[in-house]
Chains A and B, each alone.
Chain A
Amino acid sequence: MDQIKKLQAGELFRKYGALIVLIIMLLINAVITPNFVHINTMWNVLIQAFCVLVISMGMTFVIATGGIDISVGSTMAISSIIFAKLLIEMECSFFVSILAALLAACIFGAFNGVLIGVFNFQPIVATLILMISGRGIAQQFNNGAVISFYGNKYSDIGTYRIGGLVPIQVIIVILIIAIALFLAKNTTFGLYVQSIGDNSTASKLVGIRTTAIIVMTYILCAFLAGFAASLETLRICSADPNNIGNNMELDCIAAVAIGGTPMSGGKTIIWGTVVGALVMQLITTMMNMNNIFYAYALVIKSAIIIIALYLQKEKTQ
């Protein structure tokens, strides 16, 4: 009897480890962080988690194929500067600007995907190329200078609140999560992604276009990076190719890992990633609001990641 109970507790942790950590984080914050239990704090957490949430949806698919994309931060820089340059300096229409930013992101995603899917580069090496060169490319667009546009006609879009209450980012992120869930659970694309990550040889033999699917996941990931970057640029009314998306790849990968998607591929656990991204953001919020020294903050962050991963590790039978 006791043994059965223990087993079930283990099972529970493995399945919901990340969620349990999230709830504990919320409870701890509610107690120790001043003003934490306030709707505006909640909105802020979500707004700040926006980029990680959006991009880690794409990262989940990439990791599920057995790959990884460490160039998302650089892709953000490129999209952000293209978007601002066209919109503000060249006074193109909003539509054209965002389309160009997204297109650029997709091209870079395709570059990653082709290196990996067609030429069989190791994913981490292939995306390292863009990670390193991407920021350099971004700086070329405006000679390394920041584009700011406070007080401009576009400067209020990013802080728009629907009904004066719900930040626009929250609605968008919910939509994107819903689409990601649908892709993962109900489409052939989602199934093929997992199949490739689980057994790529068998996947080829059952007739899956493995190369095309792999390329598509990297395009998807880059597209989401470009999209998040454009919205972030609007919110902070500035495009800074040196700083936007710094360490974004690490936060996204951590979110996916905390969420329980195995790094070896084969599974897309979208809900897990959502929870993982929120955990990451809550840690940061907690550190900031309690004025914890940055170096300590990093150590605490790692400790929480370790706990989350430990809770979910596979038990032997």
Chain B
Amino acid sequence: MDNEYILEMKGITKQFSNVEVLHQVDFKIKKGEVHALMGENGAGKSTLIKILTGVYTKDAGQVFFNGEEIHPSSTLEAQQLGISPIYQEISLIPQLSVAENIFISREIKKKGFIDWKEIYKKAEEILKDLGINIDVRKPLRSYGTAIQQMVAIARSIMINSKMVIMDEATSSLDDDEVQILFNIIRKLKSQGISILFISHRLPEIFEISDSITILKDGSLVGEYPTSSLSRTELVSKMIGRNAEDVVNYKRTNRQIKDEYYLRAKSIKSGVKLRGINLDIRKGEVVGLAGLLGAGRTELARVLFGIDHKDSGSIEINGKEISFKLPREAIKYGIAFCSEDRKVEGIIPNMTVAENLCITNMKKVSYFGVINKRKCSSIAEEFVKKLRIKTPSIAQNIKNLSGGNQQKVILARWLSMEPDFIILDEPTRGIDVGAKKEIEDLIRQMSSQGISILLISSEFEELVRNCDRIVVLRDGMNAGILDGNDISEDKIMNLIANGNMAVGGN
């Protein structure tokens, strides 16, 4: 039977410990289309996908793939049917070589032995097809996130998939890499493969998708051709109210007093930082722009005492300092919200309250004894303030949706009431509505005199929020934008060409 749809999910319902997270959801994808699944944090997108890929079992409903009803009970089974998920967090094995990762569990054999020559050759071919030329013998971890993602895709193509699922696959990619990924998506599409695409970045949705399905609080809102929706209409449907204020939201120039909080001069560290200058005034929001590998995160890590500088100086409030450990920086009133939520952020099996209060133990404990009531009340306050969606503050953080985990981590650092906060991709994986709220919060904090260093791959976000933007390239200053000079085009220009003017002010 030939069918227009590759996938039809009907009446899908799912509960976790008596909380319904999906309610009678219908969801269909045509053959060879790019279909976006949209919704706020915790709307149930990842859950729907995990049901489709056999990670969770549904409580009710039916799933038809290629016209036949399926009941996958593991990712492997789903893969054998032709459904390949590329997860939010990459699930490959970093120590193994690129080729091994592509061929793991389906090695090519010759006379019972693994035929490495053939494997390397095939792996190279597949990647070349996707427009990537890398050494497939090197361990996967020697490449960046983007390449790792491409490898995950290569693997799924290898196993003959009919549908590729990308759950926030672009969240850790920069603009150029997103374009590489989109080219691959278009190639897959032309081969008749369907793509289920999830992202909180609206421009991506409008660029790549053919149709959009919207979920809200676990229920279906509707399915629309992408061309029929405007940005505002899409967001309004997602958040269930008029979203004019969320979408059309502009920067305002502010006057910042010339009182420096931090002055870093010619910071050098390893090969990544090759003499960077950075000044931040009290109550100022400074943006760090640049491509992946430009040295943004590396600079943040040096400022926070995770990594150490080889030379250069850091002055805080006019006093030269050098932190050997994060705890020293924290004592100094510095907070660092890292970009890698899974590895450096969440403590998965601890509760929301514990995750939130853990940097703050001095405040909520007395001679090492925790005042649980105080901890709970701080947690409750921030859950409300950031609208974190969780059944209770006693829920383990790993059971929250990706975006809500991110909010808890953000709350962790905010609750510390820092003088200076480094936000490395703070809105990664956060929905548009929440993004607006977090950006409001950034503004509010800075007006209270807190200095902020904002690292973001989204130029829009930098333009909206920063008083000054420092552009980095190859571990050096490429230029500084100020006041009315701040625009997406100018950032892009500096990243591409630079004006090698030595920054600082």
Contacts and interface: CB of A to CB of B under 8 A. Distances in A.
A209 interface: yes
Contacts of A194: 347, 349-350
B344 interface: yes
B347 A186 contact: no
B327 A198 contact: no
Nearest to A200: B347
A188 B358 CA distance: 9
A77 B343 CA distance: 41
B349 A198 contact: yes
Nearest to A197: B349
Interface stretch (B111-119, B234-242, B246-254, B365-373): B365-373
A208 interface: yes
A203 to B, nearest CB: 7
Interface residues of A, number: 22
B350 A198 contact: yes
Nearest to B329: A207
Given A198-B348, A199-B346, A267-B349, A209 B370 contact: no
A266 B348 CA distance: 9
A244 to B, nearest CB: 33
Given A205-B306, A208-B327, A195 B369 contact: no
A161 interface: no
A207 B350 contact: no
Interface in A177-218: 186-189, 191, 194-195, 198-199, 201-209
Contacts of A187: 365, 368-370
A206 B397 CA distance: 16
- By DSSP majority rule, is chain A's interface helix, strand, loop, or mixed? helix
A143 interface: no
A267 B351 CA distance: 12
B419 to A, nearest CB: 15
Nearest to B331: A207
A207 B55 CA distance: 35
A188 B350 contact: no
A188 B357 CA distance: 11
A186 B359 CA distance: 16
A316 B16 CA distance: 12
A206 B369 contact: no
A317 interface: yes
A186 B349 contact: no
B359 A207 contact: yes
B345 interface: yes
Contacts of B55: 316
B361 interface: yes
Interface of A: 186-189, 191, 194-195, 198-199, 201-209, 266-267, 316-317
Given A189-B368, A204-B325, A207-B327, 14 more contacts: A187-B368, A188-B369, A194-B347, A194-B349, A194-B350, A199-B346, A201-B344, A202-B346, A205-B336, A207-B331, A266-B349, A316-B56, A316-B57, A317-B16
23 contacts: A187-B368, A187-B369, A188-B370, A191-B350, A194-B347, A195-B350, A195-B354, A198-B348, A199-B346, A199-B348, A201-B344, A202-B343, A202-B346, A205-B326, A205-B344, A206-B326, A206-B330, A207-B325, A207-B331, A208-B358, A266-B348, A266-B349, A317-B56
Which 10 residue pairs are nearest across A and B when measured between Cβ atoms? A207-B327, A207-B330, A206-B359, A199-B347, A188-B361, A198-B347, A266-B349, A187-B368, A195-B347, A198-B349
